[in-house]
Amino acid sequence: MPRTLRAQHDRFELSQPFRIARGVKTAADVITVTIGEGQVEGLGEGVPYPRYGESVESALAAIEQARSVIESGAGREELLATMPAGAARNALDCALWDLEARLSRRSVAEMIGNPAPGRLASALTVVIDAPEAMGRAAAALAHAPLIKVKVDADAPEAQIRAVRAAAPHVGLIVDPNESWDRKLVEAMQSLLVEQRVALLEQPVPAGEDEWLEDFTPSVPICADESVHIAADVPLLARRYQAVNVKLDKAGGLTSALALARAARENGLGLMTGCMVSSSLSIAPALHVARLSDFVDLDGPIWLREDRAGGVIDEGGFLLPPAPGFWGTS
């Protein structure tokens, strides 16, 4: 049966600005892909990320280049061989998973051979602001099991202390988004221990992390921007203690599952993260999240309005989408 492919740019306004060391976001710009066979359609979403040289326009162009391959019936493995990792391939790969689930009347969980995703703890984010404002934001989340603290190189000690004082019992992930250097990482070690930080995420720029091979951190360090696909893992296992798997970096659920397996085989901890996105990005990521030590999938929580039937935050616990939203018949 002939296939059809549609791709479009969708924008979701945020309920409040999302500030990290790299800049401020006020809306989530995503690519929505629909792949159809007859009356059955599969959906996928990708978030083009400027940090990796992506834009809405470049992602749509990449999808258009893949049109003939997809519409001729290519599967997920062929897609891996013909497109580079990134948001465009993520949207296509996830749409193919959803389409296969609906055509076969099997869930994606059944296809993978795992239980269906359920309620799981997922970090809630405190974005960069004045330390006092970050403390107030953390106080509102103090009931949650896990908080991710976005920091920069200007006042990280004050920012972390403010969050910890306001939320004394939660787990803490500190994420400088590549804004620190070696000197600051070394200087912050005792504070990270004192403030009971569970994980330090990508403190230095990707490509400037070779020195971590000879560094023994007091708190585990997680690669984010430094890791994209499974082939990256053997080298990074000498520098990091964990990796952050994001479907947009890996280029889809297929590649993300391979990255998660490679991380475990190399003795690394596992985190599942996301871009600021709708629940259509999060539904596939839940299949990696259930394998992870840390989960950070609060992207849709920042939206003024999510897609109908999407994930729900319940006090720092993420509830999966409604039946039939994605990956189920």
Q: Which tens digits make up the pLDDT trace of 301-327?
A: 999 999 999 999 999 999 999 999 999
Over residues 222-276, the pLDDT tens digits come to 999 999 999 999 999 999 999 999 999 999 999 999 999 999 999 999 999 999 9
d(CA 195, CA 71): 53
Over residues 62-88, the pLDDT tens digits come to 999 999 999 999 999 999 999 999 999
Spell out the long-range contacts of 53-56 with Cβ–Cβ below 8 A and sequence spacing 24 or more: 54/86, 54/87, 54/88, 56/9, 56/29, 56/31
Provide mean pLDDT across the span 17-24: 89
| CATH (one of 3.30.420.40, 3.20.20.120, 3.20.20.140, 3.20.20.370) for 120-319 | 3.20.20.120
Transcribe 268-325 into DSSP letters.
-EEEE---S--HHHHHHHHHHHTT-SEE---GGGGBSSPPTT--EEETTEEEPPPTTS
Provide mean pLDDT across the span 272-285: 98
Transcribe 42-56 into DSSP letters.
EEEEE---GGGT--H
Containing H/E element for 17?
strand 3-20
- Which residues lie across from 33 on neighbouring strands? 7, 44
Q: What does the domain layout of the chain look like in residue ranges?
A: 3-112, 120-319
Beta 242-245 vs 40-46: how paired, if at all? unpaired
- How much is the pLDDT for 161? 98
- How much is the pLDDT for 316? 96
- Is 25 considered catalytic here? no
- How much is the pLDDT for 21? 84
- Is 249 considered catalytic here? no
- How much is the pLDDT for 179? 97
d(CA 115, CA 283): 14
pLDDT, averaged across the chain: 97
- How much is the pLDDT for 148? 98
- How much is the pLDDT for 22? 84
Containing H/E element for 140?
none
d(CA 66, CA 89): 9
Nearest CA to 208 among 245, 238, 182, 176?
182
Provide mean pLDDT across the span 14-20: 93
Q: What is the pTM of this model?
A: 0.96
Which of 25, 183, 246, 249 is flagged as catalytic? 246
d(CA 313, CA 296): 12
Over residues 176-185, the pLDDT tens digits come to 999 999 999 9
Provide mean pLDDT across the span 201-221: 97
- Which residues lie across from 36 on neighbouring strands? 4, 41
**Fold that domain 3-112 belongs to in CATH:** Enolase-like; domain 1 (3.30.390)
Provide mean pLDDT across the span 101-128: 96
The one-letter amino acid code at 136 reads R
Which of 25, 150, 183, 249 is flagged as catalytic? 150
User: Band of the pLDDT at 31, cuts 50, 70, 90?
Assistant: very high
- How much is the pLDDT for 138? 98
Provide mean pLDDT across the span 138-151: 97
Alpha helices of 72-130 — where are they, by DSSP H?
A: 76-82, 87-104, 108-112
Q: In this prediction, what percent of the chain has a pLDDT beyond 90?
A: 97
- In this predicted structure, the answer to whether residue 329 has a pLDDT above a threshold of 90 is no
d(CA 251, CA 245): 10
